[in-house]
């Protein structure tokens, strides 16, 4: 009899321990359901029925906090409501569901133990697993905790969680009449939560839904993150990605563990449609017949490759650049045979003999690097290779350009993993140390007058050491050449209007002068 009683107690204890369903496993921390950073706050979060997978009595909640310090005890008085909703996300940051249609399950003081917060309800809530679940939490303690007092969360569709709060001062928020003076926020995450009292059924999990990129999305970046909803009872998720419906040429049934997001190791091709299938799995089997979601990447920027570099025709060049849609399809950029950066965006210009400064300031969170190649895109060496400040820093590279030589500037991500480029401010300018119209040993003896030039180019000064000339367009193309027999004038009437470089050559001397053709 005692053995049978002991067996029954053991079984009962096991059932109690296993009567819980956990939603979310992310490792980032957020301000919901509440935080010590705010004087008062009120939040609502919507959890999908597909992530719960069972009906029954919810007897409590458990959250994992970022802190187990006593500071959290300053914000330990809360009220909790649970309810059903047909909504999957909120419409906006003020779209609160009325508590009159919910059940108040807790109103009291919490205790925090080793970073775990358990809320045992005074009355259970009967969940139907037909609707989605909304959890509302009102923090009513008048004191502050620490800014690090937050709860672990998992990424979710935008507006999955909304929150009203007072950063300083204020009063307890009334959920039935949220004051206009409260700050409002919406989040693309859900607090990780354990629903106590529910038991997951011993069956294979149901299919889940890809939430990002949205099905049919276009103009998607080349390194997107695949997000999908939690599926009740799933212990792992298999990810398949291909360039045809049902295809697997990119990723074939990859075991992504319990993660609810998937990252590509290499950038995707521009203007290509990709098809994603997620199959949740557990010890009872794998979900079958799961639908496929698709998205199409955007077009690459025009100067994505060195061969299509944007020509710099005048200095200084100062501009804001969005390199989000630059690909790494040209391969990593190398200096002396060593890969140093992603193939980002490219610029080119013709050397004038001046000292050139290239400056890049990241205007969002990424790590830019400047590489400059001389002569050709395939040059093995680099005249500039600089990455000194790290993420969201300013990089500066300088070099002395050679007259008539093409230079190719690459601004790409420093990482040797294919990380995406971002926005930056670009400045390319001459420092004026070796001005173009003063290059060569006869720096002060040759000029063009008048300049700009109409049809006849007139040179003034001592030409005795020069025996020939070439004229280059600003893009580096030689458009005219001839011997020089002490004549100081040559016809340029056939040249199109624009900026040109006149290079005078001698056996031991050279001279380059910039002119404008009308």
- Give me the helices (H) in 222-276, please: none
Rounded-to-integer distance, Cα 280 and Cα 261, Å: 13
Q: What is the mean pLDDT of residues 295-312?
A: 96
Rounded-to-integer distance, Cα 138 and Cα 80, Å: 6
Question: Cβ(423)–Cβ(320) under 8 Å?
Answer: yes
Residue 382 has pLDDT above 70, yes or no: yes
Q: Cis before residue 213, ω within 30 degrees of 0?
A: yes
The kind and range of the H/E element at 480 are: strand 478-483
Rounded-to-integer distance, Cα 481 and Cα 6, Å: 104
Question: Cβ(157)–Cβ(212) under 8 Å?
Answer: yes
Residue 124 — pLDDT band, cuts 50, 70, 90?
very high
Q: What is the pLDDT of residue 16?
A: 42
Q: What is the pLDDT of residue 477?
A: 74
Rounded-to-integer distance, Cα 56 and Cα 117, Å: 22
pLDDT top residue among 120 and 38: 120
Cα distances (angstroms) measured from residue 305 to each of 308, 329, 367, 412, 497: 5, 8, 19, 11, 28
Question: Cβ(1)–Cβ(123) under 8 Å?
Answer: no
> What is 437-517's CATH number, 3.40.50.150, 3.90.1150.10, 3.30.70.2740, 2.60.40.3080?
2.60.40.3080
Question: Cβ(31)–Cβ(150) under 8 Å?
Answer: yes
Question: Cβ(413)–Cβ(364) under 8 Å?
Answer: no
Neighbours of 490 (CB within 10 A): 15
Residue 12 — pLDDT band, cuts 50, 70, 90?
very low
- Contact residues for 297 (Cβ-Cβ < 8 A; gap 6+): 219, 220, 221, 222, 268, 269, 270, 271, 272, 274
pLDDT top residue among 192 and 111: 192
Cα distances (angstroms) measured from residue 315 to each of 348, 357, 397, 428, 436: 12, 10, 16, 7, 12
- Contact residues for 232 (Cβ-Cβ < 8 A; gap 6+): 21, 50, 51, 52, 53, 54, 200, 205, 206
Residue 251 has pLDDT above 70, yes or no: yes
Cα–Cα–Cα angle for 56, 62, 68, nearest 5°?
Answer: 175
pLDDT top residue among 65 and 264: 264
- pLDDT over 70 percentage in the chain: 90
Q: What is the pLDDT of residue 431?
A: 85
Residue 1 has pLDDT above 50, yes or no: no
Cα–Cα–Cα angle for 244, 247, 252, nearest 5°?
Answer: 145
Quote the mean pLDDT of the chain: 88
Least confident span in 5-14, 282-291, 362-371: 5-14
Residue 17 has pLDDT above 60, yes or no: no
Cα 170 to chain centroid, rounded: 36
Identify the CATH number of the domain defined by range 210-297. 2.60.40.10
User: E-strand spans in 326-388?
Assistant: 333-335, 338-341, 345-350, 355-362, 368-374, 384-386
Rounded-to-integer distance, Cα 498 and Cα 478, Å: 14
Cα–Cα–Cα angle for 505, 447, 404, nearest 5°?
Answer: 40
Least confident span in 321-325, 439-443, 463-467: 439-443
pLDDT top residue among 514 and 490: 490
Do 210-297 and 437-517 have matching folds?
Answer: yes
Hey, what are 462's tokens?
A: 């001592």
Of 35, 41, 128, 123, which Cα lies nearest the Cα of 86?
128
Q: What is the pLDDT of residue 11?
A: 37
Rounded-to-integer distance, Cα 433 and Cα 263, Å: 47
Q: What is the pLDDT of residue 437?
A: 43
Residue 506 — pLDDT band, cuts 50, 70, 90?
confident
Q: What is the pLDDT of residue 65?
A: 84
Identify the CATH number of the domain defined by range 306-430. 2.60.120.380
Give 263-268 contacts, CB < 8 A, sequence gap 24+.
Answer: 263/223, 263/225, 263/226, 264/223, 264/224, 265/417, 265/418, 266/328, 266/418, 267/222, 267/223, 267/327, 267/328, 267/329, 267/418, 267/420, 268/222, 268/223, 268/224, 268/297
Residue-wise DSSP of 40-64:
EEEEEEEE-HHHH---EEEEEEEEE
Q: What is the pLDDT of residue 147?
A: 67
Q: What is the dihedral of CA 110, 114, 116, 121, to 10 degrees?
A: -40
pLDDT top residue among 265 and 158: 158
Residue 146 — pLDDT band, cuts 50, 70, 90?
low
Rounded-to-integer distance, Cα 155 and Cα 379, Å: 44
418-460 residue pLDDT tens: 788 999 999 999 887 443 444 444 444 677 888 888 889 988 8
What's the sign of the alpha-carbon dihedral 435, 436, 442, 448?
Answer: negative
Q: Map out the domains of the chain as residue ranges.
A: 17-196, 210-297, 306-430, 437-517
Q: In this structure, what DSSP letter does residue 359 have?
A: E
- pLDDT over 90 percentage in the chain: 60
């Amino acid at each position: 009899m005692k053995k049978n009683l002991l067996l029954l107690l053991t079984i009962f204890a096991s059932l109690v321990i296993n009567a819980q369903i956990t939603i979310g496993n992310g490792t980032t921390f957020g301000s919901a359901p509440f935080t010590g950073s705010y004087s008062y706050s009120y939040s609502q979060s919507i959890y999908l029925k597909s992530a719960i997978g069972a009906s029954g009595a919810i007897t409590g909640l458990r959250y994992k906090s970022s802190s187990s310090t006593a500071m959290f005890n300053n914000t330990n008085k809360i009220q909790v409501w649970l309810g059903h909703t047909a909504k999957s996300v909120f419409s906006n940051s003020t779209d609160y569901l009325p508590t009159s249609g919910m059940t108040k399950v807790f109103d009291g003081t919490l205790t925090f133990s080793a970073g775990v917060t358990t809320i045992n309800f005074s009355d259970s809530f009967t969940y139907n697993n037909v609707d989605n679940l909304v959890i509302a939490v009102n923090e009513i303690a008048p004191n502050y905790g620490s800014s690090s007092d937050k709860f672990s969360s998992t990424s979710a569709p935008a507006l999955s969680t909304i929150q009203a709060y007072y950063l300083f001062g204020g009063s307890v928020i009334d959920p039935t009449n949220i004051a206009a003076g409260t700050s409002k926020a919406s989040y693309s995450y859900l607090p990780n939560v354990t629903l106590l009292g529910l038991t997951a059924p011993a069956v294979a999990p149901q299919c889940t839904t890809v939430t990002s990129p949205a099905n049919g999305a276009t103009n998607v970046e080349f390194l997107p993150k695949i997000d999908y909803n939690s599926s009740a009872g799933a212990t792992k998720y298999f990810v398949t990605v291909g360039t045809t419906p049902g295809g697997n040429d990119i990723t074939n049934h990859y075991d992504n563990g319990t993660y609810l997001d998937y990252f590509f190791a290499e950038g995707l091709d521009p203007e290509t449609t990709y098809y994603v299938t997620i199959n949740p799995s557990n010890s009872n089997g794998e979900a079958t017949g799961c639908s496929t979601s698709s998205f199409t990447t955007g077009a690459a920027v025009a100067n994505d490759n060195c061969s299509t570099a944007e020509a710099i025709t005048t200095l200084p060049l100062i501009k804001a650049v969005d390199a989000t849609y630059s690909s790494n399809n040209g391969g990593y950029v190398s200096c002396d045979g060593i890969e140093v950066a992603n193939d980002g965006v490219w610029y080119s210009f013709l050397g004038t003999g001046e000292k050139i400064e290239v400056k890049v300031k990241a205007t969002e969170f990424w790590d830019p690097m400047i590489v400059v190649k001389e002569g050709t895109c395939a040059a093995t060496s680099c005249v500039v290779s600089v990455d000194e400040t790290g993420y969201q820093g300013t990089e500066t590279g300088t070099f002395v350009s050679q007259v008539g030589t093409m230079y190719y500037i690459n601004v790409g991500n420093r990482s040797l993993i294919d990380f995406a480029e971002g926005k930056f401010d670009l400045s390319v300018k001459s420092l004026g140390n070796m001005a173009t119209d003063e290059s060569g040993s006869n720096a002060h003896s040759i000029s063009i007058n008048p300049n700009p030039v109409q049809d006849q180019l007139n040179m003034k000064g001592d030409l005795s050491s020069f025996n020939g000339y070439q004229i280059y367009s600003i893009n580096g193309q030689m458009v005219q050449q001839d011997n020089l027999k002490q004549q100081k004038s040559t016809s340029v009437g056939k040249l199109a209007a624009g900026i040109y470089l006149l290079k005078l050559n001698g056996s031991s001397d050279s001279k380059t002068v910039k002119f404008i053709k009308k």
